[in-house]
Amino acid sequence: MRPLRPMLASPRRQVVFYFLLTFFISWFGAFLLVAPRIFAGQPIPKFTGLMMFPVMLLGPSFSGIFLTGRFDGRAGLRDFFSRLAPSRISPILLPALLIPPLLVLAVLILLKTFVSREYTPNHFFVGAGFGLVAGFFEELGWTGFAFPKMVASRKGWFPSAILLGVLWSCWHIPVIDYLGAATPHGRAWPPFFLAFAAAMTAIRVLICWLYTRTQSILLAQLLHAFSTASLVVLSPSGVSPIQESFWYALYASALWLLLFLLIQFGAISTRVSSQPQQV
């Protein structure tokens, strides 16, 4: 496959093209799924709303692989798939995968103990499968294509990770009202989305940091899977929409506090190179 040159040669233009294509495929696909009910003036059932998510996964996964081939050619595709190899994962970084489940549990147990038993963590273990699917397909685009190009165009991994986290959060907008246990969120939609976006942006920073250390798409897929699975499996089923917004906000605060401490104590450097480091 011959790379496209020179019109879209700059990483910045490639990133813009990636997000336009990803959002179009994901959002248009989600719209087609629910369009019959929208045009009939019928409410969208939760199951139908959730089914938009598998359709949306085609956006980042297809765009990441397709645009790698179009922009970087066969050599780019070989490099892309080499970054999926398990050999790139450093065992010393694997404990980072436990950050999402441990923080979710800690927040919910504290709320259950000191606020209300409605925050009792759920045990919907089948939901772990949602995390595996989301992590595998999404990171083919977000980490496999978008993040390296953003680093190349913005000259820094940390601001690139923040921006990617915000865009990643916005990508979820069509299905936001069907995420969590307290759906639909009604008037609590804005605070729930803001809390969700804050948490996802923090998780994205962690994912990008791991990637800068290893250049491993697979490790990014695993952390994404652990993050999503933690929310699906443990989200309390008896909370109201505003209560759900509240505990998501606390979870986001815990993630950002952890990031702040890791940066302050030097465990994470915001000046880390985009090249893999020895660990």
Tens place of pLDDT for every residue, the chain, 279 residues? Answer: 555 554 567 899 999 999 999 999 999 999 999 999 999 999 888 888 889 999 999 999 999 999 999 999 999 999 999 999 999 999 999 999 999 999 999 999 999 999 999 999 999 999 899 999 999 999 999 999 999 999 998 778 999 999 999 999 999 999 999 998 888 899 999 999 999 999 999 999 999 999 999 999 999 999 999 999 999 999 999 999 999 999 999 999 999 999 999 999 988 988 755 454 444
DSSP 28-74: HHHHHHHHHHHHTT----HHHHHHHHHHHTHHHHHHHHHHHHHHHHH
Q: Are 101 and 226 in contact (CB under 8 A)?
A: yes
Check residue 45 and give its pLDDT. 87
Distance in angstroms (rounded) separating the CA atoms of residues 232 and 127: 5
113: buried, middle or exposed (CB in 10 Å: 19+, 13-18, 0-12)? exposed
Classify residue 160: in a domain, yes or no.
yes
Q: Tell me, what's the pLDDT at 46? A: 84
Q: What is the pLDDT of residue 80?
A: 98
Q: Is residue 182 part of a domain?
A: yes
In a domain, 5, yes or no: no
Instruction: Please give the model's pTM, rounded to 2 decimal places.
Output: 0.93
pLDDT of amino acid 277: 46
Task: State the residue range of the domain holding 59.
Answer: 11-264
Q: Is residue 251 part of a domain?
A: yes
pLDDT of 279 reads 40
Please tell me the predicted confidence (pLDDT) of residue 278. Answer: 40
Q: Is residue 278 part of a domain?
A: no
* Distance separating alpha carbons of residues 73 and 88, to the nearest angstrom: 22
The candidate with the shortest Cα–Cα distance to 163, out of 205, 199, 226, 135, is 205
Residue 89 falls within a domain, yes or no? Answer: yes
Q: Is residue 269 part of a domain?
A: no
Instruction: Give the model's pLDDT for residue 50.
Output: 87
CA distance 37 to 254: 39
What integer pLDDT is reported at residue 182 of this predicted model?
A: 85
pLDDT of residue 181: 86
Cβ proximity of 205 and 223 under 8 Å: no
Alpha helices, H only, 125-216: 128-141, 147-154, 157-171, 189-214
The answer to whether residue 103 is domain-embedded is yes
Q: How far is CA 123 from CA 127, 180, 229, in A?
A: 9, 14, 11
Domain count, the chain: 1
Angle at 137 between CA 189 and CA 275, to 5 degrees: 105
pLDDT score recorded for residue 274: 47
